[in-house]
Structure 1
């Protein structure tokens, strides 16, 4: 273990990640290269962070990132936004990210499709991770609990179109926006979709490619289209 390993460990602890330790198999030159690659994102974050409503720690913003509504965005300790992310924070009641949130490349978080109809709000807890190419559509209020992770390509929609009237085109029938609540410590696997009105209790697991149309209790394991409960995390069998 080198002094560089220890220094990086301490830096992560200062950002609130007390259990984080750099892999000791990484060589010093690899750590230097990785650290150098973070310099420009940190500089971008330092400048753009001045436009946020508030922030407490280090912000890293990768290249080709599109940001809107920053005056409505509150950030805790450490926010990492990778390349090609689109973040539109223009929600009526704002967007809050907790400590140590990571948004991987190509993810879209969209709080307003048009200026006449802003989304309600987005509240993201601590240590939440969005894998590459997630799509999060905010219309009704969305709450995501701490330590929840989204797999690549996972999607969330807090709005449904009204489509009952056969004599009116769907685009003119309006929308219903109830909202979505995802508890703490959930795993939304790759390509899974969460639809409006859903509440997932703490510790739920949503299998890859599932479409969740209804709510499930804590620690449920759900899968399928539409998703059904196939087990509980505390099952002994």
Structure 2
């Protein structure tokens, strides 16, 4: 299974994502610069965190116009797996690949610490290895992670089971609507989340709960393509 990690000017979690794939599931992974226009060789594309284009205008607002984004949208339409983490989530929102928008944290402060998430939908390629309702320890690091959408969009997200992660009840770190920490598109192949699973793939990092996300992606892809899990 071939993975790509997109790199924009200002990305700073690209190495974390690369190493998470390389060390956790030992699959081929490549850095892909934002000027690339062809993603056809990749099965999963990760849009990492950081400060793409310095977060000028709004987080992700400039990155949505990068040449690679056309190829990313084509990959999404083809059913390839796409995961946007933190700034990557913001880019997916700005580009229209996911609904909603990001606001400043309610505290107006940058929040960087461990958070507990509840798995709300374990029927996606990214969460198949988790139990429904499982609580997992995944860190956050963001200043604009306050997910917002209007009431109609929220009802649609609920109706289509697109809310993948919520912050543990009573521990919402940013004020996001309905405690939302991560959502997917209707087809379930595009995931955006503010917490960083790539920073939680080994107990030495404080948690290994993020490792299941990468093993879930690989297992789901192999099942879909008829490959042996240990092949």
Normalized per residue, which structure has more helix? Answer: 2
Question: Bigger relative contact order, structure 1 or 2, given CA contacts below 8 A and separation 6+?
Answer: 2
Between structure 1 and structure 2, the one with the greater Rg is 1
Structure with the largest fraction of strand? 1
TM superposition score category, shorter chain reference: under 0.3
Length-normalised TM-score, structure 1: 0.24
